Amino acid sequence: MLRNTVFELLGKGHPVVGPGIWDALSAKLAQATGFDLVFLSGYGLSASLLGEPDFGLITQTQMTEAAARICAAVQIPVIVDIDTGYGGPFNVEHTVQSLVRSGAAGCFLEDQCFPKRCGHMEQKQVVTVEEYLPKLQAALRARGSAPFHITARTDAAAVLGIDEAIRRAKLYRDAGADAVFVEAPRSVADLKRIRAEVSDVTLVANMVEQGKTPILPISELGHLGFALIAVPVAGLLATSFAFTRLLQTLKRDGTTEAELSCMNTFSQLNSHLGLDRLYEREKEWLP
């Protein structure tokens, strides 16, 4: 059972931060650290599951199955990146219904052409508003009465300019999206303009290290009017860096001893995984 919904967290009046996760362990670590929400990143799942960049290669089944495993592992809300919805309105409907059944708390649905790619990569393309809006409506209807938070994302800024991105954000807001997400604004001035012109709706900011948008502190993003903050790839960047360094040390030294200070102990990891709880439960049926 979720402790809070995304709607309840946003109602507390301060920015809500969703670190990007890619599996049940990364979600558990985020929860143990005190985060109130996590974001299942398409980039993270593509990298970890396929060893491929975020280039539209993850399927609906792979994403919904990953979401179900993660939702079963944590009690905090999980927002899921469903890319373009994996097809037309019926595909979006099926995806959202699957996520609601698994206990997911929300999704991001974008207006890129399929196959999509990471919002901070080059050569993106977007569909027309007329093609996107039926998919957004399908998502909103498919959640039924569930407190499932739906963010409408536009990638139009990189393709058609910030004016068109803001126009789309307003249309998506008016169509009933719970939040709108203008991907990859290139300056603080763009961020300010988005908030000034797109009112009466939750705004999402996406903090991608070395990406298109300036990295700002959460407090500053909140001051600018952004209430839902995704930090989608920082964990994966840090984990891959640390693991590479560990492997290099092992290859060079024949032991990991030089890296022990940068590692969890075996008992610490078992604690994060809940081993003590299983030991206690085990006593119920062992002599």
Q: Where are the beta strands (DSSP E) in the chain?
A: 16-21, 38-40, 78-81, 106-110, 149-154, 179-182, 202-206, 228-231
Task: Catalogue the long-range contacts made by 123-131 (C-beta closer than 8 Å, 24 or more residues apart).
Answer: 124/155, 124/158, 124/159, 125/159, 126/154, 126/155, 126/156, 126/159, 126/160, 127/84, 129/168, 129/171
Q: Is the pLDDT of residue 118 over 90?
A: no
Tell me the pLDDT band of 2, cut-offs 50, 70 and 90: low
Predicted local confidence at residue 153, as pLDDT: 97
pLDDT in tens, 199-250: 999 999 999 999 999 999 999 999 999 999 999 999 999 999 999 999 999 9
Q: Which pairs from 100-103 meet CB under 8 Å and 24+ separation?
A: 100/142, 100/143, 100/144, 100/146, 100/148, 102/64, 102/67, 102/68, 102/71, 102/72, 103/2, 103/68, 103/71, 103/72, 103/78
Is pLDDT of 122 > 90? no
Q: What is the mean pLDDT of residues 33-61?
A: 96
Task: Work out whether strand 228-231 and strand 202-206 pair parallel, antiparallel, or are unpaired.
Answer: parallel
Torsion, Cα of 63, 69, 73, 74 (10° steps) = 30
Rounded distance, CA 7 to CA 241, Å? 35
The confidence score (pLDDT) of residue 123 equals 85
* pLDDT score at 1: 59
Interval 241-286: pLDDT, tens: 999 999 999 999 999 999 999 999 999 999 999 999 999 999 988 8
Average pLDDT over residues 31-50: 97
**Domains within the chain, CATH numbers bracketed:** 6-233 (3.20.20.60), 240-282 (no CATH)
User: Please, are residues 88 and 135 in contact by the beta-carbon 8 Å criterion?
Assistant: yes
In sequence order, what are the residues at sequence separation of 6 or more whose Cβ sits closer than 8 angstroms to the Cβ of residue 250?
A: 256
Tally Cβ neighbours within 10 Å of residue 238.
11
Share of the chain above pLDDT 90, in %: 94
pLDDT digits (tens, 9 = 90+) for 131-171: 999 999 999 999 999 999 999 999 999 999 999 999 999 99
